Amino acid sequence: MTAPSTPGGGILPSEEEIRRVVAAVLDDVTSRESPEPSAVGDRSPSAPAEVAIGADHGGFRLKERIAADLRERGVEVHDCGTDSTDSVDYPDFAHAVARLVADGGCRWGIIVDGAGIGSCMVANKVPGIRAATCWDVTSARNSREHNHANVLALGAGLIGESLALEIVETWLSTPWGSGRHARRVEKITEIERCYLASAQETAERGAVR
């Protein structure tokens, strides 16, 4: 079988190489743009948690309710903030959650803002993340079974608390369907690899100059 190639004709890197590149890029970004502790929280779990959760001020109350419900059910939760309804920027918290999932620190991620759209966009910028905004149980189930989603985005201003808890429960309990869906999800991953490989090639050319 011919190895997948980049848009420029190069061979795609392996999964291990991609993880190394992602880790290096994320470390470089965070070292240059270290957020204030109040923005993303300073919690460092001693062991990987099951679910990372984060929200901006608009999603704070729903985030707190979801986290409490998960803990009551025995799920280990890593709370990335925010810690109040004071105005903050959703990208900080969505990125914190997405990075924990991408790095393997948490198995799943849940992010909450007013509509669930902006945070989803942020999370999907992180390599390895497949974030889905869900507004009902059907979309939650579909995102897991068909799309292998690993981050759930919710809009606190668009759904009620009871529905949100039902969505979370359905999303976490729905297994990945694999089968015919695996081919399509792999194509998503291949697209991501193409751009990571191109970025790596560009970085290497710049380092040689």
- Looking at the predicted structure, is the pLDDT value of residue 125 above 90? yes
- What mean pLDDT comes out for the span 112-135? 97
- Structure confidence at residue 178 (pLDDT): 79
pLDDT category of residue 17 using cuts at 50, 70 and 90: low
- Structure confidence at residue 46 (pLDDT): 42
CA dihedral 41, 44, 50, 55 (to 10 degrees): 0
For 40-92, the pLDDT digits (tens) are 333 333 445 699 999 999 999 999 999 999 999 999 999 999 999 999 999 99
- Minimum mean pLDDT range among 9-23, 107-121, 127-141: 9-23
- What mean pLDDT comes out for the span 178-200? 87
DSSP calls for 157-196: TTS-HHHHHHHHHHHHHPPP--THHHHHHHHHHHHHHHHH
**pTM to 2 decimal places:** 0.76
Report the catalytic residues: 146
Q: Which residues pair with 79 in a beta bridge?
A: 53
Q: Which domains does the chain have, with CATH numbers?
A: 15-208 (3.40.1400.10)
- Structure confidence at residue 207 (pLDDT): 66
Mean pLDDT for the chain overall: 82
For CA atoms 109, 111, 115, 118, give the dihedral sign. negative
